[in-house]
């Protein structure tokens, strides 16, 4: 029984890691598509989101079956439940990558502001790295890195505030910048939210290792977006 | 054993319903604060969010204990797991109410556009009702209503698209409208997201009743915000 449970638990983790890789790919691609104004790559991110949603559904089914069949307790139960909860977080990260991809498509042909695009690119690369690191720390159950990664979210909060200000200044100075300024603001908001969900993944690492439910990112700056 | 489990399950549902009431209150208040330009009420929403986060943590602990102690199967297990997952969704609804409250505070003293505020108020009232209905349907395990409520999300998607257009037109016509237009766009985005999470709650009702994991809101209009 124990051996079979362990095998199935490994399968669950493999599937979660696979979902994580798809989500990582979605963010990297959505950021690259935004930076390169690449409508085709953006469309690809949107198309591939269905596979990520299916991963989440499969993980839900697998966890329920595992619990019903093997009735795990203590740390085994924590393991299974954590996959169930963390899969929601990473699915939402992918949703925000899709939102960014949709923005890229809508922006085609609008007035561009390179100065702001540089900031969004920076933010995008940072968010993508944060997610990749959080997923890696999850797989390795690395508590110390979980705490460190969660701290990085502050940078995204600051970048969002900065980009919002830049957009407002541009939109006030130039009527042509209004449409793109609105898109840029939303794009930065999506990336900031991705940081919140990466922080949630870090919280699940703490839960796995210590059995404690913690809030790693309380009192989120002065930005409109509270913690996820 | 069965009797004790049933008692604890009732406790879990009572706690979830309490959390639901707090979340409902948060949205109603954040919408009212926005409509009335009421900074104090907005601050109250932000302060009270801590209690909602604690509810989620408590529910997580309760569900884990319930599973470990009673090792429920089939529909009992579904019941417990659903609370665990749905509590994340309603916690995120509250986060968006907080985001709206923060916008209200930041907007104090900025140029107002009554025509857009009317639309946001309409959207806010609609979103608040959608969440209240979804939570009510959840408590009553009302499958038919779950399907109906999920359909209502389309209205919020359409309203968001409309408000974005109105904001862009105003910002293009009047430099003074830029700051408020940016805030209005974000406010509408938060309310649209609340609709997505209410739809998620409806999906959990389907899961409870039919054991199936469904997507009630696929291919979400042409708006930037994909499904939650």
Q: Do A64 and B84 touch (CB under 8 A)?
A: no
Show the low-confidence residues of chain B (pLDDT under 50): 220-228
Distance from CA of A213 to the nearest CA of B (A): 6
Sign of the alpha-carbon dihedral angle for A167, B227, A86, A134: negative
Q: Output the six-digit token pair for B194.
A: 């609340």
Q: pLDDT by residue (tens digit) across A167-186? A: 999 999 999 999 999 999 99
Rg over CA atoms, chain A: 19
Structural domain total, chain A: 1
CB pairs under 8 A between A and B: 116
Compare A70 and A170 and report the one with higher pLDDT.
Answer: A170
Rg, C-alpha atoms of chain B: 19
Q: What residues of A are in contact with residue B95 (Cβ under 8 Å)?
A: 226-228
Does A225 score more than 80 pLDDT? no
Chain B residues lying within 8 Å of A224, measured CB to CB? 99, 102-103, 106, 186, 190
Question: Can you tell me the mean pLDDT for A130-155?
Answer: 96
Closest CA to B120 of B188, B197, B190, B183: B188
State the average pLDDT for chain A. Answer: 92
Q: Do the chains contact at B181 and A182, CB–CB below 8 Å?
A: yes
User: Is the ipTM of this structure higher than 0.90?
Assistant: no
Q: Which residue shows structure tokens 């798809």?
A: A22
Give every CB contact of residue B46 below 8 A, 6+ residues apart in sequence. A226, B98, B101, B102
Note the pLDDT of residue B221.
Answer: 40
**pLDDT band, residue A218 (cuts 50/70/90):** low
Q: Which residue of A has its CA nearest to B75?
A: A68
Q: Give a yes or no: residue B216 inside a domain.
A: no
Domain containing residue A171: 2-210
What size, in residues, is chain A?
228
pLDDT for B37-96, tens place per residue?
Answer: 999 999 999 999 999 999 998 998 899 889 888 888 888 988 999 999 999 999 999 999
Residue at A87 is within a domain: yes
Burial of A128 (0-12, 13-18, 19+ CB in 10 A): buried
Nearest to A168 among B63, B68, B179 (CB): B179
pLDDT higher than 50, residue A227: no
pLDDT for position A223:
42
| Inside any domain, residue A43 | yes
CB contacts of B103 in chain A (<8 Å) are 224
Q: At residue A74, does pLDDT exceed 90?
A: no
User: Positive or negative CA dihedral for A174, A179, A180, A181?
Assistant: positive
Give the closest of B60, B179, B224 to A186, CB-based: B224
Q: Which residues of B touch A189 (CB under 8 A)?
A: 186, 189
Q: Which residues contact B209 (CB under 8 A, 6 or more apart)?
A: B141, B143
B225: in domain = no
Nearest CA in chain B to A95: B226
Nearest to B228 among A68, A92, A178 (CB): A92
A172 Cβ neighbours under 8 A, 6+ residues apart: B175, B178
Token pair belonging to B8: 């604890």
Is residue B219 in a domain? no
Probe site for chain B from A224, A225, A227 (most B CB atoms < 10 A): A224
- Name every chain A residue with its beta carbon within 8 A of the beta carbon of B102: 222-224, 226
CA count, 13 A, side-chain hemisphere, A190? 31
Chain A residue with Cα closest to B100: A224
Indicate which CATH number applies to the domain containing B139: 1.20.58.220
Where do the H-state alpha helices sit in chain B? 2-36, 39-70, 74-107, 114-140, 143-151, 153-173, 177-210
Spatial separation of the C-alpha atoms in residues A200 and A186, rounded to whole Å: 21
The answer as to whether A225 is a domain residue is no
In-domain check, residue A19: yes
The phi-psi region of residue B24 (left if phi > 0; otherwise alpha if psi is between -120 and 50; otherwise beta) is: alpha
Helix axis angle, A143-151 to A114-140, nearest 10°: 160
B37 in a structural domain: yes
């Amino acid at each position: 029984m124990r051996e079979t449970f362990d095998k199935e638990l490994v399968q669950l983790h493999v599937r979660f890691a696979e979902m994580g890789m798809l989500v990582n790919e979605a963010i990297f691609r959505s950021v690259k598509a935004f930076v390169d104004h690449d409508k085709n790559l953006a469309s690809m991110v949107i198309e591939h989101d269905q596979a990520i949603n299916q991963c989440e559904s499969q993980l839900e089914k697998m966890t329920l079956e595992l619990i019903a069949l093997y009735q795990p307790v203590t740390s085994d139960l924590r393991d299974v439940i954590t996959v169930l909860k963390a899969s929601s977080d990473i699915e939402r990260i992918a949703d925000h990558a899709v939102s960014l991809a949709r923005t890229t498509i809508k922006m085609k042909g609008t007035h561009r502001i390179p100065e702001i695009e540089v900031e969004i690119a920076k933010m995008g690369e940072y968010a993508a790295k944060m997610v990749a690191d959080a997923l890696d720390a999850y797989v390795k159950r690395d508590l110390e890195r979980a705490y460190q990664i969660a701290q990085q979210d502050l940078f995204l909060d600051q970048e969002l505030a900065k980009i919002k200000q830049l957009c407002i200044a541009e939109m006030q100075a130039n009527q042509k910048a209004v449409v793109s300024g609105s898109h840029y603001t939303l794009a930065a908001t999506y990336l900031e939210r991705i940081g919140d969900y990466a922080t949630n993944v870090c919280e699940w690492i703490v839960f796995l290792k210590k059995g404690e439910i913690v809030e790693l990112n309380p009192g989120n700056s002065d930005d409109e977006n509270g913690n996820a």
